[in-house]
Structure 1
């Protein structure tokens, strides 16, 4: 089969590799659609990921398709089932899993390789995070289950209450999904991003106000002007830029929660004003990945059809054009791209 392998920084190669064969407990899925993700872009540009993969490695982690092979002992699934698989599953036995803190599992079973014709799904994911796609839900939308699950996990950890004024940094796919999820909670979402077209999608998804940061000199001052001089109740940073983490903290009111969601490059640091942190009783949170609960909630959210998530799909391209797709993502001319035969 044809598959994409990441060898290093911006070194992505299409190669012919053997078709996968399922071992006991595993299944093989024919990839209908694999969607690109901002995390994929960061990994491609940086040449690796602190948690999920080490090159050389199969690449891509969002996909939906059909089961074409079942390993020994697999029950409850049939050939031809349309499924979406999360890119990980917790072990269910470690210190953190016993406390239901599944995103901190010390033995998360990650699975990469969705930019391929077939994908083998490990047994832990089959047991805990393989889901049947509801009838009528296109593969390209179902494939977004994993990133939306991460977003729903992020929202749950952000102490958001109805009526809160939430400032969001980032107009990538993750940031726009945050808008959609937060708008469902009757919050006032204020978005700062760098693309007018993406900020238009944010408005469609329920943002109350949007601002292009290229046209602003003092974002914290703008936030205070919008919030009676106090700052936001909740701030969510979804860009993965250390300077943006610092700006996010500066936009928070006393007593606020700041969700530092965007993963920054390895070994980067930020500076925090200790007086502000202490006397303003700020809560700073790093939030990573998802849990089985939110994987199921995400697929259900997509299936409801209440948000036009198809607006996040900027283009459809065959696997052979994957390098071109990542160049377009780097240039920010696309949000997400559906990879696969149409």
Structure 2
């Protein structure tokens, strides 16, 4: 990442105006070892844009990258929920003027591997992941292929724009689960993505949505936003009490159960809430080492479908339609901001779960 030396401005020397030679970035040299560094601005190619980052959401995936998991490749500049303004253009780019406010899709498939050529680009074997295996948005500037950035309205605040990427992941989940009109849905967990997912569930076929989650600011926000029909607080001390009551009050279970906590214990028990012929959606993020135990007989006898939703690709325009219409509400989900110099503190706050969502912000 530090080998880049200059910014290719594409169409004119004047486009260098106001751009520094160096930028600040949060960079990992290995797992759990990071520092704020001064490095050269990224070089952009003919089909790229340089985005001056204004805000970048902090995701649970960033905690996995912190530990060296998933696609992490060193040195690493994390950040995959970025928004900002276009500061420089590649030579071929004509549809995005300088200064355009944008959000960036962080996933770039190779389009030539086995999965890509079978119309499964999200499962690309050679995926380029901005903020994972190439530099991401925890820096003052980031390079993106122009086809991955999407213009956003001038009146969309940065802290709401930083939610477009997780909302796109939620939109992919909606497509995967195929909600039938009139469905009853149970959502375990209401983290930031869960709050976005809940809204889309209600707009895409669900007649009734129950959110079950431990108490705290996330569930409080979900209640305040009135995004569900019923809310169940699961206590840390005696979770079986509330889980048993939830099962008793829904003797036929739910058409769709979505596990969005990332808790193996919750995922394991989720199967018990799926009605015959229903679906269980694995939405939470797990370590590769996690193992759970299910009865294959129950899955077989009840013809339960188990499916997963990984992330997103190509859903940002759809999400922006929801946002522009005012139907997808983003205000208040990002509840605390940090500078990259405060990354250690940010990690602790996010781990503690005492906020709804954090974001890294720049001047």
TM-score over 0.5 for the alignment?
Answer: yes
- Of residues 134, 148, 160 in structure 2, which corresponds to 1:141? 160
Residue 99 of structure 1: how far off its partner (Å) = 4.1
Partner of 1:319: 340
- Does residue 24 (structure 1) correspond to residue 46 (structure 2)? The answer is yes
- Is residue 90–residue 103 contact of structure 1 (8 Å, CA) maintained in 2? yes
- In 1, Cα distance between equivalents of 2:65 and 2:233: 26
The alignment status of 1:131 with 2:150, answered yes or no, reads yes
Of 174, 182, 188, the residue aligned with 2:208 is 188
Q: Which range moves more in the overlay, 74-83 or 323-332?
A: 74-83
Query: Unaligned 5+ residue runs, structure 1?
Result: none
Aligned pairs for 1:250-289 within 5 A: 250-289=272-311
Q: Which residue of 1 aligns with 2:269?
A: 247
User: What is the distance in 1 between the residues matched to 2:215 and 2:62?
Assistant: 20
Alpha-carbon distance in structure 2 between the residues aligned to 1:224 and 1:250? 8
Deviation at 1:38, TM superposition (A): 2.2
CA-CA distance at 1:118 after TM superposition:
0.6
Question: 1:303, 1:295 → 2: CA distance?
Answer: 12
Cα distance per residue 1:28-61 (max 9 Å; x no partner)? 11001111122223433xx1332x3234311111
Q: Which of 1 and 2 has greater Rg? A: 2
RMSD: 2.0
> What SS is found at the alignment partner of 1:308?
coil
Residues matched between the structures, number: 333
Determine the C-alpha separation between the residues in 2 that align with 1:184 and 1:281.
26
State the secondary structure of the residue aligned to 2:107. coil
TM-score normalised by L of structure 1: 0.90
Aligned runs of 1:169-184 on 2, under 5 Å? 169-184=188-203
Give distance in 2, aligned partners of 1:217 and 1:158: 27
Q: How does 1:87-126 map to 2 (within 5 A)?
A: 87-112=106-131, 113-121=136-144, 123=145, 126=146
Post-superposition offset of 1:65: 0.6
Structure-1 residue corresponding to 2:246:
223
Q: Is 2:87 aligned against 1:68?
A: yes
- Give the secondary-structure state (helix, strand or coil) at the position aligned to 2:335: strand
Q: What are structure 2's unaligned runs of at least 5 residues?
A: 1-22
Q: CA, structure 1 residues 9+217, in 2 after alignment: closer, same or farther (shift >3 Å)?
A: farther
Q: Would you say the 8 A contact 2:53–2:84 is kept in 1?
A: yes
Work out the CA distance in 2 between the residues paired with 1:147 and 1:6.
Answer: 23
Cα distance change of structure 1 residues 153 and 216 upon mapping to structure 2, 3 Å threshold: same
- Aligned mates of 2:24, 2:336 — CA distance in 1: 21
Separation of aligned partners in 1, 2:241 and 2:28: 39
Q: What TM-score do you get using the length of structure 2 for normalisation? A: 0.85
Contact 1:168–1:237 (8 Å) recurs in 2: yes
Deviations 1:123-171 (A, max 9, x none): 3xx22x2111123112221121111111111111113123211111112
Moved more, 91-100 or 306-315: 91-100
Distance 1:275 1:253 in 2: 14
Report the Cα distance in structure 1 between the residues aligned to 2:213 and 2:32, rounded to whole angstroms: 25
Please say which of residues 70-79 and 153-162 is displaced more in the overlay: 70-79
- Aligned-pair distance for 1:91? 3.3
Measured in 1, the distance between the counterparts of 2:77 and 2:362 equals 19
